[in-house]
Structure 1
Amino acid sequence: MVKLIASDIDGTLVKDGTLAIDPEYMDVIGRLIDKGIVFVACSGRQFRSERKLFAPIADKLLYVSDGGTVVRTPKEILKVHAMPDEIWKGMCSMIRENMPSCDYFVCTPECCFAEDGGSRMFHWLRDSYGYDIREVPEMLKLKDQQIIKFSVYHQNACEEMCASLFTPAWKDKTVMAAAGKEWMDCTPIGSGKGPALAFLQKYLGISPEETCTFGDNLNDIEMLQNAGFSYAVSNSRPEVQAAAKDTCPPYWENGVLQVLKTFL
């Protein structure tokens, strides 16, 4: 019997970078919660963006946000993974000096920071994802901030842009995961959706065999592998489909919704 459901958002439930979701998800998830099943929004998104997407039922969910660095209820943080300053500042300097076609931002549990408030990335995060993102004149001068994620942005080829220099330099010092064609997310060692889900399973006393997960990208693989029931949407990467126990229709056909209905 499934007692815990965790789902990625972008590319799994909705198109990347939108706050529009089929309202039937709210009805079905609400009914599952009423049956005693825990539902977890598990995303690279900021908590604020997750809450906006699930607004009608936001106070009934649990949340894994910012790529698995923060685990929380609607009212309190249960777990945080923070990144040493020398790591995220080193990544910041490398992007500036060697990858001028890429943009970047950093996350804290409360908000995000970027340097160019007029950039495509800034407006997409603020206006489409609904982020609380703030412009700062000099990222390297940020002080007293709990940085949980550093993200590299490129309009259509971020993974490729990072491959020659950035990824080799930081892959052993952070958890790196491509999140769609635009993002390379870097989080502290020990973080990720898989560890976050494992923490929640232990916290709630729910076994992997009683867990169902949904995902579409590389940062979902650990989460899919840590569940007795796991589905990759059919629009996902081949590596993700190989990691999941099953597939479901793509997000534009509400594939996850179709599976969720079977649990009713």
Structure 2
Amino acid sequence: MDGTLLDDANGLHEHLWPLVRELHRRGIVFCPASGRQYHNLLERFGEVADDVVFIAENGTYVVRRGHELSSDGLALDVVGRLVATVRELAGSGADVGVVVCGKDMAYIERSDAAFRAQADTYYARLRVVDDLRTMLGDPLFADEVLKVAVFDFGSAQATTAPALAGFRATHQVVVSGEHWVDVMSPTANKGTAVRQLQQALGITRAQTMVFGDFLNDLEMMDAADYSFAMDNAHPLLRARARFVAPRNTQNGVVRTISAMLGLAWTA
């Protein structure tokens, strides 16, 4: 989504909608794969939601027509340790905030306007709680945690990622944007989710196109013969992909798919 399908104003191009409908008519599955919450994606794609499959929370949650196809969550004790680590980082002076990402809801304890503005962009269902660790220890807490996301108002790669390095031996710690770091199950990533979807729907690598721009898209590049890095992509992602698509600001995804299928497209 961000840096790939969305433009820099956080918008979807008007030509995406007729393209998705044409793909559905041809029996081709269109799948937004994002670090965003499922409910956020559902909100953005509401008018074509039954025609697409959603890979949400960086591959930890795959949903088709409201039905879960796969999920890969975190143990609550690990989530609690992650929250404590981010608190320590904030206590050392880093301007960071944590989001506990559940299937049903995202949860935060930092509630200032600046942080809320960032969290509200990616989480359509968001709840402020007094204390995340108290919430996690409550026996009545029933949501399944898929991911822990940390927003860093500075550089996520320079500050937050090193602070979470101790979790790398047992979990995925992914810099998913300039300001975001995501921690997930060791088996969870977008590439795994794409492969699970391919298996569920009988789709091969040779029948798959993927597009990405940042480090949380790396494994996805290995799941398709037609792997495209956006022209604005991170250098490591460009090196992993087989092809390059026009920038997100040039409607690169829609233009590339349309060209591959011989569909008319206008700027």
Structure 1 position 130, deviation (Å): 5.4
Matches within 5 A, 1:149-160: 149-160=147-158
Pair 1:96-2:70 in alignment: no
Tell me, in whole angstroms, the C-alpha distance in 2 between the residues paired with 1:236 and 1:57. Answer: 27
The match for 1:72 is 63
1:111–1:134 CA contact under 8 A, matched in 2: yes
Tell me, in whole angstroms, the C-alpha distance in 2 between the residues paired with 1:120 and 1:205. Answer: 44
The match for 2:205 is 208
Partner amino acid for 2:14?
Answer: P
The match for 1:4 is none
Tell me, in whole angstroms, the C-alpha distance in 2 between the residues paired with 1:258 and 1:226. Answer: 21
CA gap 1:84/1:129 in 2 versus in 1, 3 angstroms = closer
The match for 1:178 is 175
SS of the residue corresponding to residue 145 of structure 2 reads coil
SS of the residue corresponding to residue 177 of structure 1 reads strand
Structure 1 position 194, deviation (Å): 0.7
Pair 1:226-2:223 in alignment: yes
Q: TM-score, normalised by structure 1?
A: 0.91
Matches within 5 A, 1:1-264: 9-15=1-7, 18=10, 20-100=11-91, 101-126=95-120, 128-129=121-122, 131-142=124-135, 143-166=141-164, 168-262=165-259, 263=261, 264=263
1:70–1:77 CA contact under 8 A, matched in 2: yes
**Partner deviation per Cα, 1:49-75 (whole Å, 9 max, x = no partner):** 112222321221001101110011121
Structure 1 position 156, deviation (Å): 3.6
Tell me, in whole angstroms, the C-alpha distance in 1 between the residues paired with 2:162 and 2:96. Answer: 14
Which stretch has the larger CA shift, 102-111 or 53-62?
Answer: 53-62
2:213–2:232 CA contact under 8 A, matched in 1: yes
Q: TM-score, normalised by structure 2?
A: 0.90
**Partner deviation per Cα, 1:23-42 (whole Å, 9 max, x = no partner):** 11111121111111011111
1:155–1:181 CA contact under 8 A, matched in 2: no
CA gap 1:132/1:194 in 2 versus in 1, 3 angstroms = same
SS of the residue corresponding to residue 198 of structure 1 reads helix
Percent of residue pairs identical: 25
Tell me, in whole angstroms, the C-alpha distance in 1 between the residues paired with 2:161 and 2:45. Answer: 35
Tell me, in whole angstroms, the C-alpha distance in 2 between the residues paired with 1:180 and 1:112. Answer: 19
- 1 or 2 for the larger relative contact order (CA 8 Å, sep ≥6)? 1
Q: Which runs of 4+ in 1 moved over 4 A?
A: none
SS of the residue corresponding to residue 56 of structure 1 reads helix
Which stretch has the larger CA shift, 182-191 or 113-122?
Answer: 113-122
Structure 1 position 122, deviation (Å): 2.1
SS of the residue corresponding to residue 141 of structure 1 reads helix
Structure 1 position 123, deviation (Å): 2.4
Unaligned runs of at least 5 residues, structure 1: 1-8
Tell me, in whole angstroms, the C-alpha distance in 2 between the residues paired with 1:245 and 1:194. Answer: 15
The number of equivalent residue pairs is 253
2:59–2:193 CA contact under 8 A, matched in 1: yes
Aligned Cα RMSD in Å? 1.5
Structure 1 position 16, deviation (Å): 6.6
